[in-house]
Structure 1
Amino acid sequence: MKKPIRTPLSADQLADAKRLSDIYKVKAREAKERPGDPPLTQTEVGERCGWNSPQSTVSQYMTGKVALNLDALVKLAKAIGFEPSDVSPALAAGVRMRGGDNSASEPPSSATPPPLGDPQSTNWDDYAFIDQYDAKAAAGSGYDNTHVVLRNTLAFKRDWLRMKGAAPKNLKVIYAHGDSMWPTISDRDVLLVDESRVDPSDGQIFVMFSQTKGTIVKRLIQSDVDGWIIRSDNPDKINFGDQVLPNGEIHEHRILGRVIWRGGDL
């Protein structure tokens, strides 16, 4: 996973920015018309959100210089007073689907925030917002991520992450590509990767980088004889056979992190 680069905002992201700006103007005008109410300036909104450069940050979101993410949307909704879906239907829908409903190893509710209704009723301090990248790890022959773009954020319950022994600062969300890890991981599944876990561990699934194959996601099995086996979960061993690496060669496949959760469509 290489360092992300910024790309121009999409038409949908620019539309989100305009809706945010329009709603803010209405709310600011309403505040101005109410006797005794303080003005709802961009600086005031940014301070309510807890941002270090309050006016500049709010302005960048409203003018479309920076794309809204889930964390910013929720904070702005609480600070200004609007429904997140009124500004970004896509991000708001993502909250309802957050965490995936078919985790292979955890109950469906373990990483899923409550549906958005009144943003004031949700304690978002209970959630960690993990950066979501468009990088892909091949559950197949390998994937070449020529560059990586930060797309969004996904929210996971802090209690659940503590239970997993995972620190939010070490986590990234990427995507699976291919069928070699089926039925454990399917094509286009979302993968939560802990980048602090880079030591080989028997039976665990890792995202790895190979000079010849690119980025892959595979299960590591400690060999009874010597070294490690890079194994696909797909039972079709003709197309997805094991790769055996002696102990001295395992680090030729640079381990990028361990997969601690996956989510995808039913």
Structure 2
Amino acid sequence: MTKLGDRLKGFRKALHLKQHEVAALCGWDKSGQSRYGQYERGEREPSLADIEKLAAVLQVPLAILVDPAIDAYEPGDSVSIPPFVENGPRANLGRDEIAALGVVVSNLRTTLCTDSGMESSIRQGDKVVIDVSQTTPENLAVYAIHYDGRVIFRRLQRTVSGKWILRCDNTDKMIFPDESLTDADFAAIDFAGRAIWRVGTL
């Protein structure tokens, strides 16, 4: 049977992650790298809570880390990202892309772009993978927003004065105008998550 530490090391290397990157993705403080290194070397037993975090970060089933009877697990080249809403679409995202993005699989969901407001960046009908843990606005990032009973995508832009603009990438501003937000408007926005990947046709 493969030891837990060897499994952790193998899964980490498959994602091209360093020990400190795994620790950071688990949300551990600066001592986390040392802690994670001890787990890999078999010098310390992780708690169940830590194993759950590690399974999510390393993108493997929890059982492969807790059940010593399971001696083989070959992760595929991609991960199926579950739907944001029940019976919604799924998308496959490559493990290399996930590693490069530095996101945790358990935070990812797939939804559809339902309008043409982001045309050229995201087309109507495209599947979009969002990170539901990223709801704190960042300048020029694209977010999925709950709007009038559906999810739309818009880019947030911060002005020099600190105000926010809800931008459409579509150049037809007669149909898709940018919207300057008051503080009250901004506070009322219900962010579903940050768009991190688009799956569409050429």
Q: TM-score range by the shorter chain?
A: 0.5 to 0.7
Q: Which amino acid aligns with 2:198?
A: R
Farther off after superposition, 155-164 or 187-196 = 155-164
Offset at 1:152? 5.7
| 1:149 maps onto 2:100 in alignment | no
Q: Deviations over 1:160-211 (max 9, x none)?
A: 212101111000011111211111111101101000110111111000124x
Gaps of 5+ in 1: 1-122, 134-147
Gaps of 5+ in 2: 1-73
Where does 1:1-266 land on structure 2 (aligned, <5 Å)? 123-133=74-84, 148-151=85-88, 153-210=90-147, 212=148, 214-266=150-202
TM-score by length of 1: 0.45
Instruction: Tell me the distance in 2 between the aligned counterparts of 1:152 and 1:191.
Output: 9
Match of 1:109 in 2: none
Root-mean-square deviation (CA), in Å?
Answer: 2.2
**For the Cα contact (< 8 Å) 2:114–2:151, is it kept in 1?**
no
Instruction: Tell me the distance in 1 between the aligned counterparts of 2:192 and 2:173.
Output: 25
Give the match's secondary structure for 1:251: helix
**For the Cα contact (< 8 Å) 2:126–2:198, is it kept in 1?**
yes
Instruction: Tell me the distance in 2 between the aligned counterparts of 1:239 and 1:217.
Output: 15
Instruction: Tell me the distance in 2 between the aligned counterparts of 1:150 and 1:240.
Output: 29
Alignment size in residue pairs = 130
Q: Which has the higher helix share?
A: 1
Q: Deviations over 1:39-84 (max 9, x none)?
A: xxxxxxxxxxxxxxxxxxxxxxxxxxxxxxxxxxxxxxxxxxxxxx
Cα 1:192–1:224 change in 2 (3 A) is: same
Instruction: Tell me the distance in 1 between the aligned counterparts of 2:183 and 2:103.
Output: 27
Cα 1:152–1:225 change in 2 (3 A) is: closer
**For the Cα contact (< 8 Å) 1:190–1:264, is it kept in 2?**
yes
Instruction: Tell me the distance in 1 between the aligned counterparts of 2:137 and 2:89.
Output: 29
TM-score by length of 2: 0.58
